Copies of this chain bind each other. A is one copy, B any other.
Amino acid sequence: MRAGQAPIELSIIANTGDDLELHGLSVSPDLDTLLYTLAGLANEQTGWGVRDETWSSAAMLARLGAPTWFQLGDRDLGLNLWRTARLREGQRLTDVTAGLVAAMGVAARLLPATDSAVRTELLTEDGWLEFQEYFVHRHHAVPVTALRYRGAETAEPTAEVLEAIATADLLLIAPSNPFLSIGTILAVPGITDALRSAPARVVAVSPIVGGVALRGPADRLFETLGGSSSALGVARHYQRYAPGLVDALVIDTQDADAATSIAALDLEVMVTGTVMRDHADREQLAGTLLEHWLPGHATG
């Protein structure tokens, strides 16, 4: 983002650890949820996939005995078919994603954290599970005793990601799962260092509100992987996992009591409403954060 009254230039660094191969396609659920949301095509009811979706291809695949637990609607399938064909031609995921963003008329830059294959895997009583096997197929209902980011050791952040971090005016860590989505991005060698050495402030938003995760299993992961499911727990997690990475933590008004303890961890604290039920809530939170850390910027 640039200083002054220029409109915000938004670059999003996205998690690819949830990616999967399905029906021979390279599916990137996080990238696509971001893309559909930015393009105004997201299904707000489900929280994933495209609105006005149809399911004819899935019905045919089910008839042929293909696995049905991960649902890809017809529009979604068309997009994943296009991505897979481009990747098979040898294009980088970064460039394929840029093509999708352009075709959708989205102004923001959407950057996979890495073009290397990194896969979040979770240890359960049934052994190591791939992310979607755990999250979708088992409804994130099985206890997780360990995590690994397969492929992360040899992965590299893209030049685009490093450049976006180095030139940003503000670096926001979304209220995503610190173990899964954020953890996978930070596991790519070089990204944590790039964030630490960036001139911009690094502001994280707590995904835990009133002790619970508003979405997904972050609260249960704190229980079984260590730590506490609370705003303070999130602060401690970031300081332990990547000391000095985060400069400030945004916590919900429900958790205002934790502000002093979090500040004692050498973190700036902002207390505001962080629960996002709809697009207006999302705009309001973004506006509040930008107003505070980049005053004078347009948020449209």
Residues in B neighbouring A64, C-beta threshold 8 A: 78-79, 82, 99-100, 103
In the complex, whether A292 has a CB less than 8 A from a CB of chain B is no
Interface residues of A in 203-218 (CB under 8 A from B): none
Q: Is A264 an interface residue (CB 8 A)?
A: no
Q: Tell me which of B50, B57, B85, B100 contacts A24 (CB under 8 A).
A: B85
Q: Is A65 an interface residue (CB 8 A)?
A: yes
* Cβ-defined contact, B23 with A85, below 8 A: yes
A79–B75 Cα gap in the complex (Å)?
16
Known: A25-B81, A85-B24. A74 touches B56 (CB 8 A): yes
List residues of chain B with CB within 8 A of the CB of A63: 103-104
**Complex: chain B residue closest to A99, CB-CB:** B64
> Which residues, 1 to 49 on A, are CB-close (under 8 Å) to B?
23-25
* Among B57, B59, B73, contact of A81 (Cβ-Cβ < 8 Å): B57
Q: How far, in angstroms, from A46 to B17 measured CA to CA in the complex?
A: 43
The 0/1 profile, CB within 8 Å of B marked 1, for residues 44-71 of chain A is: 0000001001101111110111100000
A71 to chain B, nearest CB (A): 13
A213 to chain B, nearest CB (A): 32
Residues of B within 8 A of A57 (CB): 57, 74-75, 77-78, 81
Residues of B with C-beta under 8 A to A54: 54, 56, 74
Pair B74/A61 contact, Cβ less than 8 Å: no
Task: Knowing A63-B103, A65-B103, A103-B64, say if A58 contacts B78 (CB, 8 Å).
Answer: yes
| Interface membership of A84, Cβ < 8 A | yes
Residues of B within 8 A of A78 (CB): 56-61, 64, 77
Nearest 3 CB-CB pairings of A with B: A60-B78, A57-B78, A56-B74
Given contacts A56-B56, A77-B81, 17 further A-B contacts (CB under 8 A): A24-B81, A54-B74, A57-B57, A57-B75, A57-B77, A57-B81, A60-B74, A60-B75, A60-B77, A60-B82, A61-B78, A61-B81, A61-B82, A64-B99, A64-B100, A66-B85, A74-B77
Q: Can you pick out 10 interface pairs between chain A and chain B where the beta carbons lie within 8 Å of each other? A: A53-B56, A54-B54, A57-B78, A57-B81, A58-B78, A60-B76, A60-B77, A61-B82, A63-B103, A77-B77
